[in-house]
Structure 1
Amino acid sequence: MKALVLTAALTCTAGTASALCEDAWYLRNMAFDRAGYCFGSALGKSVFSAECSTKSPSLNDWDQRMVSAHKQLEASYSCKINTKGRHLASSLIGKLDDIDLLPTLSQFESSCVGYTGAPVTLTSGIGMRDSYPTGTIQDGATVHFRFEPWGGFEFVETETGAGWIPEGSVTPDVCTAFAG
């Protein structure tokens, strides 16, 4: 019953199409911002850095795949973001500043409530070799899964941070409750 209540709560909050659309728009455009894109819309100018260098940025292969996936996701949900406005309610704003490899949203999400396993290091990218720690999943944490896994890693969010972890590091058996 506890998991059912948690699933309903997730569906009513972060799982709404509007929230998904705003997060997809933010992730997609964050890649362009990092590539130096000069935004023309009021929303782009208010959400992203004023430091820019081009109207035709070159994205690396990773970012290009992520942008394409988010465009498809936005199309499947018929997303309409008001780019004439100056406010975006994306839950990801400020959470991804230290992330090297931006994640791709999934249409599905789940959460581990009350993590009981050993500490797990969150990293800025996939693996430890070319990335750095961005936080740690500690005992009692809530771990949110709402991104596509890639190459044996998955991107997660907690109350205190976000980052990549080896896939399968957090499973339902190390959670007080698992929703989704």
Structure 2
Amino acid sequence: MRTLLLTGALVCTAGTASALCEDAWYLRNLAFDRAGYCFGSTLGKSVFSADCSTKSPHLTDWDQRMVSAHKQLEASYSCNINTKGRHLASSLIGKLEDIDLLPTLSEFESSCVGYTGAPVTMTSGIGMRNSYPTGSITGGETVHFRFEPWGGFEFVETDSGTGWVPEGAITPNSCEVFAG
């Protein structure tokens, strides 16, 4: 029997504004790291690659929109990341290496517990033309939605990976339990 749980807005996987702040900071700065930015802060140097080339990186239009959205999100939650420290507890560290188009966090999240549908391929970007598979969602998995959809696609997380899937590929009817 499938159950739909209406729990209101769930904020962050860890359930705290602090977790949202750390993930937003990480995503925003990951775009700069990928563009070759040389970090000056202790935290930036600790979290990101030392393989850098510039203090004035050029971001793609996609990344610039994502960075702007995360700055707004961080401001609305009064985020204050300690960039003098060496540790960041972002749940996204190590999960986005294969992702070409970085997602934008949402203030809300939902989860499909016990996926019951056909396998769904996750991809590195939106659509298949310039993307490649990053994993597959199969029966029994829990699928987390906590990013803004875009262009008919949504970014999802599972225990086995992350990636973009067609929007609506996973519905409450294809879950044992849907929370959100």
Shared fold (TM-score greater than 0.5)?
A: yes
1:12 and 1:163 mapped to 2: Cα distance?
18
Scaled by the length of structure 1, the TM-score of the pair is 0.94
Q: Does 1:105 align with 2:111?
A: no
1:138-165 CA-to-partner distances (Å, cap 9, x unmatched) read 0000000000000000000000100000
Scaled by the length of structure 2, the TM-score of the pair is 0.94
Which residue of structure 2 aligns with residue 76 of structure 1? 76
Secondary structure in structure 2 of the residue aligned to 1:56? coil
Cα distance, 1:7 vs structure 2: 4.7
2:103 and 2:11 mapped to 1: Cα distance?
21
More helix by share: 1
Q: Does 1:63 align with 2:76?
A: no
Distance 1:155-1:82 versus aligned 2 partners, 3 A rule: same
Q: Does 1:130 align with 2:111?
A: no
Unaligned runs of 5+ in 1: none
1:40-82 CA-to-partner distances (Å, cap 9, x unmatched) read 0000000000000000001010000000000000000000000
CA contact (8 A) 2:11 2:107 kept: no
Percent identity, aligned pairs only, is 84
Q: Aligned residue pairs: how many?
A: 177
1:38 and 1:161 mapped to 2: Cα distance?
28
Code of the residue aligned with 1:50 in structure 2: it is A
Q: How does 1:3-152 map to 2 (within 5 A)?
A: 7=7, 14-152=14-152
Unaligned runs of 5+ in 2: none
What is the CA RMSD across the aligned residues, in angstroms?
1.6
Higher RCO, 1 vs 2 (CA within 8 Å, ≥6 residues apart): 2
1:66 and 1:22 mapped to 2: Cα distance?
15
